Amino acid sequence: MNDSSIIISNVSDASFAIGVAYGKQQAMDVQDFVSLKSFANSEFCPRFLLDESNDHNIGYGLAGKSVYIISTTSPHYTRNELAMRNFILASAAKENGADFVTLIEPDLFYSAQDRGPRTLDHPQITNFESRRKFVGQPWSALLYAQLLRKAGVDLVMTVHNHKPGVMAKIYEEVFQDQVPQKKKCFINLDVSHIVANYILQSGLARLENGGEHVGFVAPDSGAVEFASRVREFTGLKNSVLVNVEKVRYGQRNVELNIDEDVELLKGRDVFILDDMVRTGGTISAGINLLAENEKSRPANIFFYCTHTYISAEGRENLSSPHLNQFITTNTIPNILNRDDQGRLRKKTVVLKIEKWIANAIIQCVEYENDPDVFYGKTSVSVAGNWYEVDISTKNPQRFNTRFVQYELI
């Protein structure tokens, strides 16, 4: 462990933060570094627990230290409350002399609110109608970045952001005082190699002959790049990639269009790959569309997403009899709760990525390696060391499938 680094969380006993600290071999527990207290009036007041031995170092107890704030969703606090805790923790770290403060928020708060009524330079701003729909709303992603910087955050690290290019531009603009020093201010970690490793090692799909029995599906145009990277990292050159076009007419009114390429999926073991799932309605519709179409009917259907907002509606939709397995990560930790999984316990597999985050801290922040280079093809063969598989005893996959050896590229 680097003794100059401190890993903390904005919530006491946060399992994800504890896992990251353990992966980084931090000797002290996360909460031993900071006391997270609230006053009777509900105001939050953290205190870093450091030995102030004399008058000269008061206010500089964190001098020479790098502080990493791990922030994930919590069943006990809203995102608004957690965001405020991030600001106050960062401010406390800087006011006590911390050299560098990093916010690690795998599912970056407010990043879906990535434009406002005056936003012009955005890939989805194409005409008057695409601007008018945001009139009266705030540009919350920009505000969140501004507040983080004002509080003292120097770097934000996230995982598989929905629009990483848009977010990177926002954070680079807000953190522009870092740019002349060639300091990174925004890192979006690519989880593709971990997903590829799991596909290769899980025994779910028939991998022989370069993956001629395997198919990859992007459920909308925004997922094509991710699905392409996963396919590339598996090295299954005879597999196919198909894009299902999604047209959104409202928050819950979505239409799916498929073209003739969908016939390439017939009889294959198919992996649908996306960044997040909330209600699961779109994915459920896509699964049924593929399974019930004689021209496209796959042999097996597996669905992976990085961020899972488990809900009663999501459990209902993902319980489709056509879905063989649902694979996700624990960026939103309550997915590990068996009660929250409900009926999905029978098909849910969670990839716990705390060790991967710990490794990213070392490689991409402390050693300042280029994330795009470090998480490239050469990392696929060792990606299995960076995550753990969590699976319920109710899931028959636990007993029927063993991890197989496969020659990784």
Q: Which helix (H) or strand (E) holds 353?
A: none
User: Which fold, 192-351+372-400?
Assistant: Rossmann fold (3.40.50)
Is the pLDDT at 399 greater than 70, yes or no? Answer: no
Residue for token pair 């102030």: 52
Distances (CA, A) of 274 to 65, 216, 220, 312, 388: 37, 11, 8, 20, 20
Beta strand 254-257 with 100-104 is: unpaired
Distance between CA atoms of residues 85 and 43, nearest Å:
10
| pLDDT bracket for residue 39 (50, 70, 90) | very high
Distance between CA atoms of residues 326 and 61, nearest Å:
46
The reported pLDDT for the residue numbered 108 is 98
| pLDDT bracket for residue 392 (50, 70, 90) | very high
* Radius of gyration (C-alpha) of the chain in whole angstroms: 22
Is the pLDDT at 54 greater than 80, yes or no? Answer: no
Question: Lowest-confidence range among 42-56, 191-205, 294-308?
Answer: 42-56
Determine the average pLDDT of the residues in 343-366.
95
| pLDDT bracket for residue 321 (50, 70, 90) | very high
Is the pLDDT at 409 greater than 70, yes or no? Answer: no
Q: For 122-155, how does the pLDDT look when each residue is reduced to its tens digit (9 = 90+)?
A: 988 889 888 888 899 999 999 999 999 999 999 9
- Closest Cα partner for 6 from 102, 107, 147? 102
Determine the average pLDDT of the residues in 225-238.
96
The reported pLDDT for the residue numbered 1 is 44
Q: Where in the chain is the domain with CATH 3.40.50.2020?
A: 5-189, 192-351+372-400
Question: Lowest-confidence range among 119-123, 191-195, 243-247, 359-363?
Answer: 243-247
Question: Lowest-confidence range among 207-221, 278-292, 358-372, 389-403?
Answer: 389-403
Token pair recorded at residue 344: 């999905």
Distance between CA atoms of residues 150 and 327, nearest Å:
37
Determine the average pLDDT of the residues in 84-88.
98
Strand partners, 269: 214, 300
Determine the average pLDDT of the residues in 282-302.
91
The share of the chain scoring above pLDDT 90, in percent, equals: 71
Determine the average pLDDT of the residues in 200-223.
94
DSSP 3-state of 395: coil
Q: Which helix (H) or strand (E) holds 204?
A: none
Produce one character per residue of 354-392: b if its CB has 16 or more CB atoms within 10 Å, e if not: bbbbbbbbbbbbeeeeebeebbeeebbeebbebbebebb
Distances (CA, A) of 282 to 293, 299, 329, 405: 17, 21, 19, 34
The reported pLDDT for the residue numbered 372 is 76
The reported pLDDT for the residue numbered 120 is 83
Q: For 295-311, how does the pLDDT look when each residue is reduced to its tens digit (9 = 90+)?
A: 889 999 999 999 999 88
Token pair recorded at residue 324: 């063989």
Residue 100 CB-density burial (10 A; 0-12 exposed, 13-18 middle, 19+ buried): buried
Tell me yes or no: is domain 5-189 CATH 3.40.50.1820: no
| pLDDT bracket for residue 285 (50, 70, 90) | confident
The reported pLDDT for the residue numbered 249 is 47
Angle between helices 140-151 and 79-95 (to 10 degrees): 30
Phi-psi region of 63 (alpha: psi -120 to 50; beta: other; left: phi over 0): beta
361 DSSP 8-state letter? I
Q: For 241-282, how does the pLDDT look when each residue is reduced to its tens digit (9 = 90+)?
A: 999 876 554 555 555 666 668 899 999 999 999 999 988 988
* φ and ψ at residue 368, rounded to 5 degrees: 60, 35
Q: For 58-82, how does the pLDDT look when each residue is reduced to its tens digit (9 = 90+)?
A: 889 999 999 999 999 999 999 999 9
Angle CA 107–108–111, to nearest 5? 120
Beta strand 44-48 with 34-38 is: antiparallel
